[in-house]
Amino acid sequence: MTELIERELEVPCQPEHLWRALTDPRWLESWLADAVDLELRPGGDAHFVVDGQTRDGWVEEVRPPVPGDGPGETGCLTFWWQAQDASPSRVCIELIPAEGGTRIRVVEARPLDVLDLVGLPLPGQGHVGQHRFGPALVAG
Amino acid sequence: MRRRLLSEIASHPATATELANDLPITRQAVSKHLTCLARAGLLARERTGRDVRYRVTPAPLSDAMSWMAQVGAEWDDRLARLAGAVDSLDDRPDPSASASA
């Protein structure tokens, strides 16, 4: 079982313009968290401050949207974050081309502890920044 | 007594009769407590034949529910802020410039 939250928002703005909102720290700090420090590459470090609380994690996927002749290609930013004394969760933010703009789709999921078997550290064990996670997790 | 009942049931699911046999209270009193605990969501009832067996509600379920409620509310807030930031795009092509000013 995976605990999962899904939200969608349509905005009248092209995906390629919205990409900055997902990748520019100053943009991110205006909506995602109080402080955002993302190393924008798979496996890169991710640090956040949410409601005065630090969350550490790593970046899983960075895929800018690609404008095309048709609807274009969906872009996505996927990262993991974990507050102290909490279990890690995976956030996937997609920018899906839609008529007249973009459908922003967010999924935050907290997989059961079985994922820790492939290397994502349990709270209090090791550091997320050491990247002790396995390919099975990234593939998921 | 309710705490004691809970710990008994946590170690093994039981019927009111079984619990009354192990505890210094009547079956009727046990039933009353069990009804209360079930209503509070701490116990679940399972009917097998004529017996109603009580078991402790798994804690992860309520943990999951509170996680989803909290994380859902967080994203509602975030997306509302993002929508607001996007709205201001027309006037301010680079809102980050004013944020850092």
pLDDT tens-digit readout, A59-108: 999 999 998 777 789 999 999 999 887 888 999 999 999 988 999 999 99
Residue type, B30: V
State pLDDT tens for residues A33-63: 999 999 999 999 999 999 889 999 999 999 9
Q: In this complex, do B79 and A27 lie within 8 Å of one another by their Cβ atoms?
A: no
A-chain CB neighbours of B76 within 8 Å are: 7
Is B70 part of the contact surface with chain A (CB cutoff 8 Å)? Answer: no
Residue A60 sits at φ, ψ, to 5 deg, of -95, -45
Q: Average pLDDT, stretch A17-28? A: 92
Q: Average pLDDT, stretch B42-53? A: 86
Lowest-confidence pick of A28-32, A96-100, A130-134, B25-29: A130-134
pLDDT at B2: 77
Q: In this complex, do B79 and A104 lie within 8 Å of one another by their Cβ atoms?
A: yes
State the residue for tokens 């209270």.
B25
**CA-closest candidate to residue B43, choices B18, B14, B67, B70:** B14
Q: In this complex, do B82 and A9 lie within 8 Å of one another by their Cβ atoms?
A: yes
A14 neighbors A67 (Cβ within 8 angstroms): yes
Helices first, then strands: H and E counts in chain B: 5, 3
pLDDT at B37: 82
Model confidence band, residue A132 (pLDDT cutoffs 50, 70, 90)? very low
pLDDT at B56: 86
SS3 at position A109: strand
Is B41 part of the contact surface with chain A (CB cutoff 8 Å)? Answer: no
A35 or B44, which is more confident: A35
**CA-closest candidate to residue A80, choices A50, A119, A53, A120:** A120
User: pTM of this prediction?
Assistant: 0.63
Tell me what ipTM this predicted complex has.
0.79
pLDDT at B90: 56
Model confidence band, residue A8 (pLDDT cutoffs 50, 70, 90)? very high
Q: What CA–CA distance (Å, rounded) separates A124 from A133?
A: 15
DSSP state of A73: B
Q: In this complex, do B78 and A89 lie within 8 Å of one another by their Cβ atoms?
A: no
pLDDT at B87: 81
A95 neighbors A19 (Cβ within 8 angstroms): yes
Kindly tell me if the per-residue pLDDT of B40 is higher than 70.
Answer: yes
